C-alpha cells in the first residue's frame, strides 16, 4: 500500500511474480518495525531499570543489565529520569522568608501516586507537596525542603534524604527501608507505622515526632535527638542509639531487645512494659525514668545512672547481665544486694 501511494507513476511490469512483491513489501516494513521494537525495549528498560550512574543510592553494587537502556540514552545525550535539582516544585508565597511559620502559605504541588523513581531533586522545594503513595525509590532528595509534605504510604526505599527538612511532614505507613536520613530534620513529623528498618538517621532530629508502632529494626541512630518523641509499641530491635537523646520519650511497650543505648540520655523517659532484654544501657542516664514492668533480663546496665527511677525493682536489677557500678538509690541498693546475694 505504501508502494502504491508513494511509488513512481510508471506502470508495474506485469511479469513480476507475487512472491517478489511480498518480499519487497516485507523489506519496506522491516525498518519501521525494527525501530519500533528498539524504542519499545528502551522504554521497558528505562521504566524497569536504573540510571547510568546507578550506585550512589543503589540497592545493588552491580546492577548489570538494569542500566543498559539508560546507558544507551545517556550516550545519545538524553537522560530519561527527572532532573529537578534546586527546582521550586511547590509555589512559594510572596515575600517568602523560609521560616516555618510561612510554610502555611505555600501552595503544595499535587504529585499523588506519581512514579518518580531516581528523581534528581537535590535542594528542591517540595514544601506541602502532596506525594501520597508516590514511588520515590532511590530518589536523590538531599537538602530538599519537604516541610509539611504529605508522603503517607509513599515508597521511599533507598532514598537519599540527608540534611532534608521534613518538619511536620506526614509519613504514616511510608516505606523508608534502607533510606539515608542522616542529619535530617524530622521534628514533629508523623512516622506512625512507618517502616525504617535498615535506615540511617545519624545526628537526625526527631523531637516530638510520632513513631508509634514504627518498624525501626537495625536502624543507625547514633546521636539522634528524640526528645519527647512517641515510640510506643515501636520495634527497635538491634537498633543503634548510642549517645542518643531520649529525654522524656514515650517508650511504653517498645521493643528494644539487643539494642545499643550506650551513654544514651533516657532521663524521665517512660519505659513501662518495655522489652529491654540484652539491651546495652552501659553508661546511660535513666534518672527519673519510669521502668515499671520493663523486662531487663540480660541487659547491660554497667555504670548506668538509675537514681530516682520509678517502678524499678530489685528483681529487675538482679536479672541484668552486668550491673557493675550502676548508680541506684540507697534503699534499692540494699534490696539489690540482699536479693542478688540470695539468688547466686
pLDDT tens digits for 146-170? 999 999 999 999 999 999 999 999 9
| Lowest-confidence pick of 29-38, 64-73, 245-254 | 64-73
Question: Full-prediction pTM beyond 0.85?
Answer: no
Contacts of 329 (CB under 8 A, 6+ apart): 306, 307, 308, 309
Tell me 271's DSSP state: -
Among residues 109, 110, 105, which one has the least CA distance to residue 95? 105
Q: Give start and end residues of each alpha helix (H) in the chain.
A: 2-6, 18-48, 68-75, 314-318, 330-342
The β-bridge partners of 250 are 230, 270
Query: What is the per-residue pLDDT across 317-327, written as a single tens digit (0 to 9) for each?
Result: 999 999 999 99
Q: Are 257 and 237 in contact (CB under 8 A)?
A: yes
Place 30 in a pLDDT band, splitting at 50, 70 and 90.
confident
- Tell me the DSSP string of 46-88: HHHS--TTTTSS-S-S--GGGGHHHHHHHHTT---S-B-TT-B
Q: What is the pLDDT of residue 42?
A: 59
Compute the mean pLDDT over every residue in the chain, rounded to the nearest whole number.
Answer: 87
CA distances in angstroms from 78 to 51, 81, 83, listed in the order given: 11, 9, 11
The 8 Å CB, 24+ separation contacts for 325-330 are 326/301, 326/302, 327/303
Among residues 197, 183, 148, 192, which one has the least CA distance to residue 169? 148
The number of CA neighbours under 13 Å toward the Cβ of 83 is: 4
What interhelical angle do 68-75 and 18-48 show, nearest 10? 100
C-alpha 229/C-alpha 190 separation (Å) is 10
Place 205 in a pLDDT band, splitting at 50, 70 and 90.
very high
Percent of the chain at pLDDT exceeding 70: 79
User: Grid coordinates standing for 334?
Assistant: 540494699
C-alpha 98/C-alpha 166 separation (Å) is 13
Please give the distance of CA 297 from its chain centroid, rounded to a whole number. 31
Q: What is the pLDDT of residue 48?
A: 62
The answer to whether residue 209 scores a pLDDT higher than 90 is yes
Amino acid at each position: 500500500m505504501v508502494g502504491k501511494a508513494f511509488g513512481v507513476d510508471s506502470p508495474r511490469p506485469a511479469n513480476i511474480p507475487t512472491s517478489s512483491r511480498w518480499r519487497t513489501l516485507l523489506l519496506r516494513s522491516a525498518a519501521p518495525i525494527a525501530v519500533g521494537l528498539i524504542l519499545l525495549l528502551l522504554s521497558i528498560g528505562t521504566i524497569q531499570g536504573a540510571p547510568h550512574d546507578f550506585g550512589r543510592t543503589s540497592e545493588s553494587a552491580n546492577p548489570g543489565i538494569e542500566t543498559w537502556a539508560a546507558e544507551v540514552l545517556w550516550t545519545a545525550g538524553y537522560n530519561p529520569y527527572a532532573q529537578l535539582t534546586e527546582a521550586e516544585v511547590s509555589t512559594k508565597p510572596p515575600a517568602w522568608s523560609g521560616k516555618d511559620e510561612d510554610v502555611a502559605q505555600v501552595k503544595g504541588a499535587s504529585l499523588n501516586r506519581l512514579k518518580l523513581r531516581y528523581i534528581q531533586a537535590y535542594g528542591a522545594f517540595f514544601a506541602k507537596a502532596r506525594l501520597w503513595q508516590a514511588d520515590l525509590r532511590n530518589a536523590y532528595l538531599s537538602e530538599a525542603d519537604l516541610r509539611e509534605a504529605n508522603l503517607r504510604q509513599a515508597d521511599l526505599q533507598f532514598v537519599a534524604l540527608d540534611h532534608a527538612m521534613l518538619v511536620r511532614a506526614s509519613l504514616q505507613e511510608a516505606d523508608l527501608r534502607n533510606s539515608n536520613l542522616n542529619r535530617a530534620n524530622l521534628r514533629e513529623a508523623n512516622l506512625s507505622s512507618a517502616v525504617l528498618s535498615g535506615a540511617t538517621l545519624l545526628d537526625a532530629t526527631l523531637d516530638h515526632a510520632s513513631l508509634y508502632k514504627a518498624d525501626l529494626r537495625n536502624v543507625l541512630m547514633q546521636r539522634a535527638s528524640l526528645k519527647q518523641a512517641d515510640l510506643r509499641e515501636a520495634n527497635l530491635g538491634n537498633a543503634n542509639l548510642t549517645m542518643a537523646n531520649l529525654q522524656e520519650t514515650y517508650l511504653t511497650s517498645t521493643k528494644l531487645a539487643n539494642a545499643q543505648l550506650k551513654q544514651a540520655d533516657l532521663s524521665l523517659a517512660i519505659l513501662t512494659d518495655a522489652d529491654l532484654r540484652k539491651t546495652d544501657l552501659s553508661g546511660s542516664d535513666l534518672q527519673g525514668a519510669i521502668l515499671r514492668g520493663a523486662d531487663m533480663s540480660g541487659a547491660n546496665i554497667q555504670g548506668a545512672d538509675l537514681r530516682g527511677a520509678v517502678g524499678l525493682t530489685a528483681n529487675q536489677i538482679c536479672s541484668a547481665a552486668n550491673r557493675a557500678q550502676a548508680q541506684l538509690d540507697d534503699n534499692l541498693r540494699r534490696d539489690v544486694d540482699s536479693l542478688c546475694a540470695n539468688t547466686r
